[in-house]
Structure 1
Amino acid sequence: MVELTVRYFAGARAASGTPDENLALPAGATVATALTAIETRHDERLARVLKACSFLLDGVAVRDRATPIPPSAQLDVLPPFAGG
């Protein structure tokens, strides 16, 4: 098993209803696996937000959702931010 802490920011936090949560995923899980598990736990509102999000895995930007998740990892869910 892989333990993953998911932290939600801004609109993702609002859509999930929580600032963070822990997931237990099968060994060999990827970021795509984690996103599927997240969508299963929450409603379509979060699923819509996730489509526009970027992700950090242990502080490193995820470009490929096939990226494997290491043990005891942290995934940050970052929706687009406005600002200037």
Structure 2
Amino acid sequence: MGLVTVRYFAGARAAAGVHEEKVELPTDATVQDALTAIATLHGDVLGRVMLSASFLLDGVAVRDRAARLPEGTALDVLPPFAGG
């Protein structure tokens, strides 16, 4: 088991009801595993937000949801932003 810090921004923060949380995941968990876990924790509203969100893994954009999450990593959930 490993802990991953999940940080939520804008609409994702509103949907999750928290700015940041630690999520315990199995060893060798993937980005998708983390997304599934947090959708289970926070429900359909956050699940819908994540459909159009982008993600940063330790500050670097990650598009491959099969990417592994090392213990202690940070996963940012960034919904689309309006404006510029």
TM range (shorter): over 0.9
| Alignment deviations for residues 16-53 of structure 1 (CA, whole Å, 9 cap, x no partner) | 11101110100010000000000110111111001010
Q: Percent identity?
A: 63
SS in structure 2 of the partner of residue 27 of structure 1 = coil
Scaled by the length of structure 2, what TM-score is found? 0.96
Counterpart position of 1:69: 69
5+ long unaligned stretches in structure 2: none
Counterpart position of 1:43: 43
5+ long unaligned stretches in structure 1: none
> Which structure 1 residue ranges, 4+ long, deviate > 4 Å from structure 2?
none
1:13-52 residue pairs with structure 2 within 5 A? 13-52=13-52
Counterpart position of 2:82: 82
- The CA distance in 2 between the partners of 1:34 and 1:27, in whole Å, is 12
